[in-house]
Amino acid sequence: MWWRDNTAVFGCSHGRPALTLIDNIRVSTELLQALDTFDAREDDVLLVSYPKSGTHWLAEIMKNLYSRHSDNHSAGLVTLTSSLEFGDLSKFDELRNLSSKRLIPTHLSYDMIPVQFKTKNCKMIYVIRNPKDTAVSMYHYYQQNPHLPNVEKWSSFLEIFLKGEVVYGSWIDHVLSWEKNKSNENMLFLYYESMKKDLPKHVKEISSFLNISVSEDQIREISKKCSFHEMKEQAEREKVNTNHTVCALTSDRKLIFRKGVVGDWRNYFTSKQNVQFDAVFKEKINSSALASYVEYE
């Protein structure tokens, strides 16, 4: 984490600060500096990913799991909050005043997570998406989101992505920060591509991890409701609540869902860019058990 002129800067590359998150997207320096004062609860569930890797998808699955689990009793009552790093210091009061179980999304690296999430052994779920599709999705997000720097050309964006000079820094550094704790029984790692192939399998895996009792029929129902197509259509129908979003970068849900496909990177990467990307990522990815299982097809 770097600080400059009251502006929060996520990630760095070779000692240089990454692009910044500034006040007009409501991420305050004061809140980030105060993260370790955050009061976590033992039953908090943290939903984590690098940006454009499936946090909203995971959040929708979680909401539906707890909804099916509730059956009108308090064990299933949960609140999906806005992103942990979204807002100002009043955010902590807002979360403190919630009486229900809290599902808290974030794009923060492990080292920036409030310490109480770790000491209280809170459940954490981390979604990994292949970095090539992530880069393409983030490129479009930069183009459409007025709160982020304007990068018109794909080639220009790829350069800063490879340097880790995008919001939240380097993809591989983010993954590595969480991988250090992969043996923690309170952490579940999911792969975006695998979820696309067999969502019911992973809905069942999540429910087991969280000790949520749901039937096979309910798992199939949740999987259908949480398909990318269904979520995109729902986002386009809903009115945007600018005071609540699971994303720290925008309050417009319509910017969140684009294609959601696996392998779209092949429509953007030239052969030269692909070789360049592999050269930059190869050494670190080969040293990472989590990253080595990423699927590109």
Catalytic residues: 107
Report the chain's terminal Cα–Cα distance, integer Å.
Answer: 34
Query: Under DSSP, is residue 56 helix (H, G, I), strand (E, B) or coil?
Result: helix
Q: Are strands 187-191 and 123-128 parallel, antiparallel or unpaired?
A: parallel
The SS3 assignment for 270 reads: coil
Q: What does the chain come to in residues? A: 297
Paired tokens of 294 = 């990423």
Task: Give the long-range contacts of residues 255-259, CB within 8 A, separation 24 or more.
Answer: 255/141, 255/144, 255/145, 256/56, 257/56, 257/228, 257/231, 257/232, 258/137, 258/140, 258/141, 259/137
- Closest by Cα among 25, 47, 33 to 89: 33
Q: Work out whether strand 45-49 and strand 123-128 pair parallel, antiparallel, or are unpaired.
A: parallel
CA distance 253 to 179: 29
The neighbouring-strand residues paired with 80 are 103
Q: Quick check: 41 and 99 in contact, CB under 8 A?
A: no
Contact 103, 47 (CB under 8 A): yes
